[in-house]
Amino acid sequence: MDSQRRQLHLFFLPYLAQGHMIPAIDMAKLFASKGLKISIVTTPLHASLLSKTIEKGKTLGFKLDVLIIEFPCVQVGLPNGFESYHMATSPDLRQKFLKATTILEHPLGELLQEHRPDCLVASVMFPWATVVARKFGIPRLIFHATSFFSICTSECLRLYEPHKNISSDSEPFIIPNFPNEIKLTRKQLPELFTQKVNDAGLMELYKQVIEAELTSYGAIFNSFYELEPAYADYYKRVLGRKAWHIGPVSLCNKENEDKARRGKEASIHGHECLKWLNSKEPNSVVYVCFGSMANFNDSQLMEIAMGLEASQQQFIWVVKREKNGGGKEEWLPEGFEKRVEGNGLIIRGWAPQVLILDHEAVGGFVTHCGWNSTLEGVAAGVPMVTWPVSAEQFYNEKLVTQVLRIGVGVGAQQWVRFLGDSIRREAIEKGLLRIMVGEEAEEMRSRARELGKMGNRAIEEGGSSYSDLNALIDNLRSHSFAVEE
């Protein structure tokens, strides 16, 4: 068979969380646009959220489909429909959720048996996928859903344990053998490093993740070389692992409709958002959003509202709260929306984030430093106020503020799952002014704009991500022939 014409078939198995699902779907579309056949393996809830994207892909001639596997909620003691990690808000629920994810190994094996794809791209959170893929003689690629920088940080912490040679949780330590001098404190580290994990299942999962990383075929990164060259090199040369960077993958969404349809159905119509933004001057609006998992309490939301108002900046603020039918909302200062009318827009629920960030009126981004949001902010060329909450977000903050120098920290010091550190209104106001007004803001904006241009160039023909995607496809093609022979 002619190796140029043979159609490769890839299975994608994203983790059941928006921060993994969204970039994985963008990646799937990228591969499909190159003529590969892509099957996304996921559960009924996520499949239903994807249906419009799949339909659209088909109209473009993509060979893109979804294969559904049941999530064993009932088997592990979770209610039906409990198919997303953001729902697992207590250690008990998390443990059950993680248990359920390991059971997916069996239905995945059956699908691999039936469809015999050429490669399995699976989330890092499914370490067992490497073994399953091996049974079928196909390569397993890991999708980390984060930066090279954060994986390198995490690996250096694991290997050299600098956090163990300090006397208090707030004493800074330097990451050893690192390209830049990066300081962290123990308070900012995930539970994995602070021994505060109270469930053995999670610790075991982390161990398996490390092992799978070392035994898999390689990793795909949603990043671009020019953004973090020292760390892409570090990952490959110093840690000795194979990787391909093919991002920013969000840039595969060219039309407004596609930008607005990532993840869930947005709580505001894209047109309404654009109409609001179209009435604003360039770089005059701050976008405030904390991803899909972080969920602040009422008093923190109140501080944000006060900080926004005090800064006198125009804003779009995304809050994970339902509108309560005109009644008083405890998390909002009295009369807030009336006072900021025309200058501030609150989106309750899910925002069309990329559509907003890409608008020229948006001149700053307050972000929790989830990797997708960070990279979407980079691609849009906007400076950021960094407000890490948990996961690997404190690492990404360092990349933004210290390496790229396109953002300022709001002052978050403590890793707290879903909730984060408490931040006062004065700090929020100060952060907003630093990225929106004055010389420092202009300098950050011009660096951010430059990086944004580089990100856009990376995915165009001849760009670093474009070339790496082609290199990966060629590599898989030759691998699948080697297996066939």
Q: Which spans of this chain sit near ligand UDP (rule: CB under 6 A)?
A: 18-19, 22, 262-263, 289, 291-293, 318, 350-351, 353-354, 370-373, 376
CB of 408 to ligand UDP, least distance (A): 18
CB of 357 to ligand UDP, least distance (A): 8
Structure tokens given for 73:
């909620």
Structure tokens given for 88:
């697992």
Structure tokens given for 20:
């993994």
Residue nearest to ligand UDP (CB): 19
CB of 153 to ligand UDP, least distance (A): 16
CB-nearer residue toward ligand UDP: 131 or 209: 209
Cα separation, 289 vs 142, whole angstroms: 27
CB of 367 to ligand UDP, least distance (A): 7
Give the residue from 270, 245, 289 showing the smallest Cα distance to 377.
Answer: 289
For residue 244, the cross-strand partners are 220
Cα separation, 29 vs 36, whole angstroms: 9
Structure tokens given for 142:
């890991």
For residue 343, how many C-alpha atoms fall within 13 Å in the half-sphere facing its CB? 13
CB-nearer residue toward ligand UDP: 372 or 386: 372
CB-nearer residue toward ligand UDP: 263 or 307: 263
- Confirm if 111 and 11 have CB atoms less than 8 A apart: yes
The helix/strand/coil state of 148 is helix
> What element of type H or E holds 470?
helix 464-484
CB of 167 to ligand UDP, least distance (A): 32
For residue 483, how many C-alpha atoms fall within 13 Å in the half-sphere facing its CB? 17
CB of 166 to ligand UDP, least distance (A): 28
Give the residue from 382, 344, 350, 384 showing the smallest Cα distance to 367.
Answer: 384
The DSSP string of 316-353 is EEEES----TTS--TTS-TTHHHHHTTTEEEEES---H
Give the residue from 250, 459, 457 showing the smallest Cα distance to 355.
Answer: 250
CB of 150 to ligand UDP, least distance (A): 11
Cα separation, 274 vs 153, whole angstroms: 38
CB-nearer residue toward ligand UDP: 112 or 285: 285
Cα separation, 411 vs 399, whole angstroms: 15
CB of 250 to ligand UDP, least distance (A): 7
Give the residue from 94, 103, 119 showing the smallest Cα distance to 36.
Answer: 119
CB-nearer residue toward ligand UDP: 24 or 433: 24
CB-nearer residue toward ligand UDP: 130 or 372: 372
- Confirm if 301 and 319 have CB atoms less than 8 A apart: yes
CB-nearer residue toward ligand UDP: 182 or 354: 354
CB of 334 to ligand UDP, least distance (A): 26
CB-nearer residue toward ligand UDP: 37 or 144: 144
CB of 266 to ligand UDP, least distance (A): 7
CB of 318 to ligand UDP, least distance (A): 5
Structure tokens given for 402:
């210290």
Spell out a b/e string for 44-53, using b for 16 or more CB atoms within 10 Å of the CB, else e.
ebbbebbeeb
Which residue is associated with the tokens 């580290």? 189
CB-nearer residue toward ligand UDP: 206 or 287: 287
Cα separation, 133 vs 215, whole angstroms: 11
Alpha-carbon distance values, 213 to 110, 247, 451, 468, 484 (Å): 23, 20, 29, 20, 25
